């Protein structure tokens, strides 16, 4: 992705995950927005979008953050929402034995006091592999990878879901189910 595409991707993340009202956009409870309305609202706020550009951003996003509906008329962020208007009905899934969470060393004290919590988002995001977790953690500082005993959590009543882009989601991870690797 070039710089322009990265800026547009960040803009889409912002409005589709966190602040749709910042441009006057409405999302439904599953996070979907009408693409035509998104284009109009973005234009009123100085962002020039068109269906082809949006499709290219969705297709080229390496993290697969967005999805376009089958009828090609709507778009949504597949996970990572902080807006209370969205509550995607993910199917519960049995997780792999181990999942990973990438973070920065500066967050470890807090994590080992309260566990992993969703914070302003709806879910804690977990990765199926260490390399993805490393990439996520690098965005926040000196990276550290936490190994999560996901299947044990599931067996003890914790619910897991998987977003369309493969990210594993759960409401929280108590300290006793994680360790630094």
Per residue in 8-63, pLDDT (tens digit) is 999 999 999 999 999 999 999 999 999 999 999 999 999 999 999 999 999 998 88
Sign of the C-alpha dihedral computed for residues 50, 56, 61 and 64 taken in this order: positive
Instruction: Name the band, by pLDDT with cuts 50, 70 and 90, for residue 87.
Output: confident
- Asked whether residue 91 is domain-assigned, the answer is no
Phi and psi of 180, rounded to 5°? -80, 135
- Asked whether residue 30 is domain-assigned, the answer is yes
pTM equals 0.78
Domain co-membership, 138 together with 172: yes
Angle at alpha carbon of residue 155, lines to 143 and 90, rounded to 5°: 70
- Asked whether residue 45 is domain-assigned, the answer is yes
Beta-ladder partners of 35: none
C-alpha span between 6 and 147 (Å, rounded)? 30
Which CATH number fits the domain that encloses residue 67? 1.10.10.970
Which domain, by its residues, includes 11?
3-77
């Amino acid at each position: 992705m070039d710089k322009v595409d990265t800026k547009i991707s960040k803009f889409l993340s912002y409005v589709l995950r966190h602040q749709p009202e910042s441009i006057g956009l409405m999302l439904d409870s599953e996070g979907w927005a009408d693409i035509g309305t998104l284009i109009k609202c973005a234009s009123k706020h100085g962002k020039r979008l068109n269906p082809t550009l949006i499709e290219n951003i969705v297709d080229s996003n390496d993290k697969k953050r967005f999805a376009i509906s089958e009828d090609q008329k709507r778009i949504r962020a597949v996970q990572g929402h902080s807006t209370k208007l969205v509550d995607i009905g993910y199917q519960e899934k049995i997780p792999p034995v181990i999942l990973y969470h990438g973070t920065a060393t500066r967050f470890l004290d807090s994590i080992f006091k309260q566990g992993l919590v969703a914070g302003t988002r709806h879910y804690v995001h977990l990765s199926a592999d260490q390399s993805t977790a490393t990439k996520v953690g690098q965005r926040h500082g000196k990276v550290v990878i936490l190994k999560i005993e996901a299947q044990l959590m599931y067996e003890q009543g914790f619910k897991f879901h998987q977003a369309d882009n493969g990210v594993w989601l759960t409401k929280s991870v108590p300290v006793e189910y994680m360790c630094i690797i």
